[in-house]
């Protein structure tokens, strides 16, 4: 017996139609590449998305063709989110911080037909164009008169000229909600990057779930600042959830320094901001230096990599801003867990609550997770036992684009497929998950595991330490022993012995690193994460003093 409800596929076009009809006057504010502040509305973004859809039709694209973007966070990128996917094409957001060779590899692998780019990235585009034979059109996100006279790019269009030539009447097509809507490549620390291919259905379910009070709690009263790039897993889904809720959006463009971000938050009365720890470090640094306060910001979502406890404390205690510690992956659309308290925990003392806030949080409804041992057996939720973290859900991948890497899923006794996250975690009795390490970074010492993150957090708590990375080094007796690689703060001094002494009482004796290596910089990836693979490469001639 079937239900008798209206049959409507979950399509991204329904988001922009909703924002247009019910939140047409809602503001979209962007700091542009040009440096000025641009103001528009959801109705205008919807209108231009329809023009864009018509323009893509004019370029003779077929259903499912990939349209790449190399762009900052701004209103034109937002229009691409809806115009490209809504018309049945696949939005492929590209990370401009990648090496040109890697970028060209990804464009070719995805088979992008069109690339849209901010003028900032013209040199990058010129560097890769000759190696991208699938790309038939290059669209510069600018006015016609801003196009370079000699670009050497075949079929170079101005986005504004393309749109201006089109009607703003367009009927969004209806198609299977499982159709691909967008794609994003993992940064790929080993092997080639792999493509996660999202569907309209997965994107819409994620848009609902991400806006829930237990997730990012988004409403029509919010002004959202996605500092997290729109090329980084769909800016954590914020553009979609914002359209669903009619929230105001504020885009930082390329200006991610503390001063620019702070000024935008204040000028546009931002209530919620989302980004990775490195960006917040710059913001907090600027504010502490200048003695500034927030007047409207009430919460900030921190994800992308584990958030240092000191940062959570600074936001909470100094600035009265709730930190939503979140965790997810490119393969997860990306939201998996957010750390928000449960009913019974709201009456705990602040100190107890702060301990909970250090965890990555609880599974949003739609996501299930478990920790397993090496045999795949589920481990207890006691907050102590750690194991490989596996996840399931309708916005988690089942395979990579073109089947690269084979079937990534791990199957349980009931035949259910779980995606192995590559993280090692604990889950407590209340369902709060805490990442203890990446599987490949965990240090295996004498049959016991040492969390590299724990070791790094202790070093980071030392006033002279700017950045710390813990890696395991081969040891004849213990298999591996940890060392900590440290970048000192400018003008700050600390010696090896002092730092090792700092560990005493802060961790078990056998977990204290065997050595400290001071360096000028730790290699960072395109999304600001420490690249331990590259670091290990730098240390290939290093020998443990204890080995």
CB of residue 271 to its own copies, shortest distance in Å: 9
Residue 233 as a binder of its own copies (CB under 8 A): the answer is no
Whether residue 198 contacts residue 181, with contact meaning beta carbons closer than 8 Å, is answered with yes
Alpha-carbon distance 140 to 351, whole Å? 51
Q: Which DSSP helix (H) or strand (E) runs through 104?
A: helix 100-110
Q: Residue 128 Cβ, how far from its own copies at the closest point, in Å?
A: 23
Count of residues of this chain found to bind its own copies when the rule CB under 8 A is applied? 80
Catalytic residue among 440, 444, 489, 501: 444
Contacts of its own copies in 316-355 (CB under 8 A):
333, 340-344, 346
Provide, rounded to whole angstroms, the least separation between the CB of residue 178 and its own copies: 5
The C-alpha angle 203, 49, 223, rounded to 5 degrees, equals 65
Q: Look up 449 and say whether it is catalytic.
A: yes
294 binds its own copies (CB under 8 A): no
The catalytic position among 40, 41, 186, 300 is 186
Beta partners for 29?
A: 39, 250
| Matching residue, tokens 């910001």 | 297
Catalytic position from the list 331, 340, 395, 426: 331
- Taking contact as CB under 8 A, which single stretch among the options 24-32, 300-308, 309-317, 520-528 is the one that binds its own copies? 24-32
Least distance from C-beta 265 to its own copies, angstroms? 15
Q: Radius of gyration of the chain from Cα atoms?
A: 24
Calpha distance 373→274 (Å, rounded): 33
Closer residue to its own copies, CB minimum distance, 2 or 375: 2
- List the beta strands (DSSP E) in 446-546: 448-450, 465-475, 479-488, 515-518
| Residue 36, φ and ψ in degrees, nearest 5 | -85, 170
Element holding 66 (H helix, E strand): strand 66-70
Show Cβ contacts of residue 406 under 8 Å, excluding neighbours closer than 6 positions. Answer: none
- For position 112 contacting its own copies by CB under 8 A, the verdict is no
Task: Report in angstroms how near the CB of residue 152 gets to its own copies at its nearest.
Answer: 31
Counting every residue, how long is the chain?
Answer: 547
| Cβ 383 to its own copies shortest distance, Å | 14
213 binds its own copies (CB under 8 A): yes
- DSSP letter assigned to residue 284: H
430 contacts its own copies (rule: CB under 8 A): yes
Q: Which stretch binds its own copies (CB under 8 A): 71-79, 241-249, 450-458, 491-499?
A: 241-249
Please give the angle made by the CA atoms of 370, 368 and 400, to the nearest 5 degrees.
95
State the binding string over 245-274 for its own copies (x if CB under 8 A, else -). xxxx--------------------------
- Token pair, residue 124, equals 């990058």
Among 395, 478, 502, 503, binds its own copies (CB under 8 A): 395
Within 13 Å and on the Cβ side, how many CA atoms surround 212?
A: 19
Position 431 contacts its own copies (CB under 8 A): yes
CB nearer its own copies, residue 216 or residue 292: 216
Query: What DSSP state is assigned to residue 489?
Result: P
User: Least separation, in Å, of the C-beta of 161 and its own copies?
Assistant: 29
Active site residue 331: yes
Four-CA torsion 310, 313, 314, 317, nearest 10 degrees: -160
463 binds its own copies (CB under 8 A): no
Binding to its own copies (CB under 8 A) within 170-189 occurs at 171, 176, 178-181
List binders of its own copies among 60-79 (CB under 8 A): 63-64
**Shortest distance, position 398 Cβ to its own copies, whole Å:** 5
Q: Residues 189, 266, 449, 507: which is the catalytic one?
A: 449
Q: Which stretch binds its own copies (CB under 8 A): 75-83, 310-318, 397-405, 468-476?
A: 397-405
The enclosing H or E element of 425 equals strand 417-427
Backbone angles phi, psi at 411, to 5 degrees: -95, 140
d(CA 495, CA 467): 15
Q: Is 493 in the site for its own copies (CB under 8 A)?
A: no
Q: Does 167 bind its own copies (CB under 8 A)?
A: no
Query: Hey, which residues between 354 and 373 contact its own copies (CB under 8 A)?
Result: 362-363, 365, 368
Q: How far is the CB of 2 from its own copies (least distance, A)?
A: 5
Our CA dihedral for 61, 63, 66, 70, rounded to 10 degrees, sits at 70
Among 212, 372, 524, 534, binds its own copies (CB under 8 A): 212
**Residue 448 annotated in active site:** no
Burial class (CB within 10 angstroms; exposed 0-12, middle 13-18, buried 19+) of 415: exposed
The minimum distance between CB 153 and its own copies, in angstroms, equals: 26
- Nearer to its own copies by Cβ, of 166 and 181: the residue is 181
Quick one: which segment of 25-33, 34-42, 138-146, 537-545 binds its own copies (CB under 8 A)?
25-33
Pairing of strands 223-226, 248-251: parallel
- Which residues, 6+ apart, have CB-to-CB distance to 520 below 8 Å? 487
Using rule CB under 8 A, residue 221 touches its own copies: yes
- Is 496 among the residues known to form the active site? no
**How far apart are the C-alpha atoms of 46 and 143, rounded to whole Å?**
19
Is 316 in contact with 354 (CB distance < 8 Å)? yes
Q: Using the rule CB under 8 A, is 82 a contact of its own copies?
A: no
CB 422 within 8 A of CB 532: no
Return the residues of window 400-429 that contact its own copies according to CB under 8 A. Answer: 400-401, 414, 417, 419, 429
What residues act catalytically? 186, 331, 444, 449
């Amino acid at each position: 017996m079937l239900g008798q409800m209206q049959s409507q596929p979950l399509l991204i076009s329904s988001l922009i139609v909703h924002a247009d009809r019910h939140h047409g006057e809602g503001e979209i504010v962007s700091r542009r590449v040009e440096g000025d502040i641009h103001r528009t509305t959801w109705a205008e973004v919807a209108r231009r998305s329809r023009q864009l859809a018509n323009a893509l039709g004019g370029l003779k694209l077929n259903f499912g063709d990939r349209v790449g973007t190399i762009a900052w966070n701004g209103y034109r990128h937002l229009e691409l989110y809806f115009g490209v996917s809504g018309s049945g094409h696949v939005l492929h957001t590209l990370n401009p911080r990648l090496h040109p060779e890697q970028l060209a590899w990804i464009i070719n692998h995805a088979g992008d037909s069109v690339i849209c780019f901010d003028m900032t990235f013209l040199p990058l585009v010129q560097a890769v164009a000759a190696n991208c034979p699938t790309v038939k059109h290059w669209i510069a996100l600018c006015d016609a008169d801003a196009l370079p006279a000699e670009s050497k790019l075949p079929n170079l269009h101005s986005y504004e000229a393309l749109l201006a030539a089109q009607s703003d009447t367009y009927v969004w097509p209806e198609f299977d909600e499982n159709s691909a809507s967008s794609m994003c490549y993992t940064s790929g620390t080993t092997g080639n990057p792999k493509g996660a291919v999202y569907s309209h259905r997965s994107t819409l379910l994620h848009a609902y779930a991400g806006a829930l009070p237990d997730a990012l709690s988004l409403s029509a009263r919010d002004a959202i600042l996605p500092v997290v790039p729109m090329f980084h897993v769909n800016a954590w889904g914020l553009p979609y959830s914002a359209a669903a809720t009619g929230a105001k959006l504020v885009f930082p463009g390329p200006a991610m320094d503390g001063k620019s971000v702070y000024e935008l938050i204040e000028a546009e009365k931002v209530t919620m901001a989302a980004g990775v720890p490195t960006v917040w470090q710059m913001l907090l640094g600027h504010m502490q230096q200048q003695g500034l306060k927030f007047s409207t910001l009430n919460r900030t979502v921190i994800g992308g990599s584990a958030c240092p406890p000191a940062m959570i404390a600074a936001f909470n205690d100094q600035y009265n801003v709730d930190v939503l510690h979140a965790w997810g992956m490119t393969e997860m659309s990306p939201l998996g867990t957010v750390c928000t308290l449960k009913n019974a925990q709201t009456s705990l003392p602040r100190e107890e609550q702060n301990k909970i806030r250090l965890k990555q949080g609880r599974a949003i409804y739609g996501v299930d997770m478990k920790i397993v041992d090496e045999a795949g057996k589920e481990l207890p939720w006691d907050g102590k036992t750690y194991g490989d973290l596996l996840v399931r859900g309708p916005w988690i991948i089942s395979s990579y684009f073109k089947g690269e890497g084979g079937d990534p899923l791990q199957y349980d006794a009931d035949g259910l497929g779980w995606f192995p996250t590559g993280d090692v975690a604990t889950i407590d009795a209340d369902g709060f998950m805490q990442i203890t390490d990446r599987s490949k970074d965990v240090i295996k010492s004498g049959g016991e595991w040492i969390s590299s993150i724990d070791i790094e957090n202790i070093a980071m708590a030392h006033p002279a330490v700017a950045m710390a990375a813990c890696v395991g080094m081969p040891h004849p007796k213990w298999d591996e022993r940890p060392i900590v690689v440290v970048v000192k703060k400018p003008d700050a001094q600390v010696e090896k012995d002092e730092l090792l002494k700092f560990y005493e009482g802060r961790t078990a004796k056998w977990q204290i690193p065997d050595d400290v290596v001071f360096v000028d910089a730790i290699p960072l990836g395109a999304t600001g994460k420490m690249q331990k693979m590259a670091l290990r490469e730098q240390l290939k001639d290093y020998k443990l003093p204890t080995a």
